[in-house]
Amino acid sequence: MVKLRFTLQTIDGRIVPIPDPSVRFVHLQFRRFSGCPICNSHLRALAKHKDELVDAGIREVIFFHSSASELRTFEADLPFDLVADPEREFYRRFGVESSVSALVHPSIFGAMIRGAKVVFKGDARRLWIPKAENGRLGLPADFLVDGAGCVVASKFGTHAYDQWGIAELLTLGGRGNENRLNQQTGSIPSPSPGAPRLKPQTHSL
C-alpha cells in the first residue's frame, strides 16, 4: 500500500502536512472549478457539519482546478483548507479525471440550482459566470488518509455530484482504522492508466 508523504499550501498560506499527526484522518476532496454551483451545493451542506467532522478527527482539504485568485473570490468563506491546483498536478497524481458524463446525471440539476443561489446571492463580485478554469467536465474524487499516510477509503465520482455525503464520511472515519477498503470495490482503486505515481512533494502557489 502506498503511503502518502507531502505537504500542501492553502490559498491563505497555511501548510498542511499529509498525513497530519494532529487529526485522525485527512479527507482530500477533489472538486471542479471555483464557483461551480454543483460543488458549492455539496460543500455548503458539508460546512453545516463542520463540528461533527472536527469531533470525528477529520480534516477537510479541498482541491479546485482553479487559481488562488478565483478561489478567493468564490470560495474563501468555506471553513475548510482550500488548495488551488490550476495546473491539475495533484489531479493527475491521484488519477482524477474529466468526462462528458460529469454533466449528464439527473441529480446534478437540483444541486446546480441550490449551489447557484449560494454562489451568486448578494455579492456584486459574483454577478458573472465563473471562468470554469480547466473546463466544466471535471469529476470529483474523495480520499480518506489516516495518520500513517495510508488511503483507507476512496471514491472516484462518475458524475459531478457523485461524492461522499456527511453520513457516509463519518461512517468511513469510524471504521477507517479497521477496514482499509474502498467504498465500492473492497480495495484501493488504481489511478487511471498513465497517471503518475504519487510522490512526496510540497505544493505551493
SS (H, E, C) 47-62: HCCHHHHHHCCEEEEE
pTM value? 0.77
Distances (CA, A) of 94 to 58, 63, 142, 191: 20, 12, 10, 6
- Domain-embedded: residue 16: no
pLDDT at position 196: 36
Q: What is the CATH number of the domain that holds 100?
A: 3.40.30.10
Of 29, 19, 41, nearest to 143 (Cα)? 29
Instruction: Provide the 3-class DSSP secondary structure of residue 120.
Output: helix
Q: State the pLDDT at residue 118.
A: 57
- Distance CA(55)–CA(6), nearest Å, equals 25
Q: Specify if 50 maps to a domain.
A: yes
Q: Determine, yes or no, domain membership for 15.
A: no
Question: Who's near 54: CB < 8 A, 6+ residues apart?
Answer: none
pLDDT of residue 40: 87
In this structure, is residue 202 part of a structural domain?
no
Q: What pLDDT is attached to residue 154?
A: 95
Write out residues in the chain with pLDDT < 50, as ranges: 115, 122, 124-127, 177-205
67 domain residue, yes or no: yes
Residue 204 pLDDT: 34
Query: What local confidence, expressed as pLDDT, does residue 65 receive?
Result: 95
Expressed as residue numbers, the domain containing 179 is 24-187
Q: Does the residue 46 lie in any domain?
A: yes
